[in-house]
Structure 1
Amino acid sequence: MRKTQLALLTLGATVLAGFVTITPAAARDYPWCAQGGEYDYPGECAYSTYEQCQASVSGRLLFCGPNPLFAYGQAPQSRLQPRRRPRPIASY
């Protein structure tokens, strides 16, 4: 009985440690997006080539379009940017 409890505690601690180390998937933006149907704009942007996108959308009532971040040269920016405080004016 004691060995079973120790084994379950060890297993639980291992599983918990695994969940703690999981980080959210990094958003990868590729040049081509599957658009339409179940996807909001800009769509599922997970395709390096137009051919990959076409193979994925085949038979799904979707279409391929360019990723706007690549098409218009905009780099993705972090949502959390530190606020800058104005510099105090030096008085002489």
Structure 2
Amino acid sequence: MLIAPPAEAARTRYPFCLQGATSPGLSNCTFTNLAQCRATASGRFLTCVANPFYKGRRR
């Protein structure tokens, strides 16, 4: 049986998220840098935002 982590916990892994009509809230926080996020958002009526739950790299 697999147990998924809470959504908030999963969002802490990456510093940038997409927001827009197809990604409401912080539902797509899978970007390691702003340029990567902006490239994905380009032409899709999406914007990139800093992930407020991101805690940085764990050492």
Smaller-chain TM-score bracket: 0.5 to 0.7
The two structures have a TM-score, normalised by structure 2, of 0.67
The two structures have a TM-score, normalised by structure 1, of 0.45
Q: Which has the higher helix share?
A: 1
Aligned to 1:33: 17
1-structure distance, mates of 2:39, 2:4 = 24
1-structure distance, mates of 2:48, 2:3 = 26
- Taking a change above 3 Å as real, the CA distance of residues 46 and 25 of structure 1, as seen in their structure-2 partners, is farther
Gaps of 5+ in 1: 1-19, 74-92
Aligned to 2:39: 55
2-structure distance, mates of 1:24, 1:53 = 28
Bigger-Rg structure (1/2): 1
For these two proteins, the number of residue pairs brought into alignment is: 50
Among the aligned pairs, what percent are the same residue?
Answer: 38
Residue type of the alignment partner of 2:26:
P
- What is the root-mean-square deviation of aligned Cα atoms in Å? 2.1
Q: Which has the higher contact order (CA 8 A, sep 6+)?
A: 2
Q: Secondary structure at the match of 1:60?
A: coil
- Taking a change above 3 Å as real, the CA distance of residues 24 and 53 of structure 1, as seen in their structure-2 partners, is farther
Gaps of 5+ in 2: none
Runs of 4+ in structure 1 deviating by more than 3 angstroms, as ranges, are 23-28
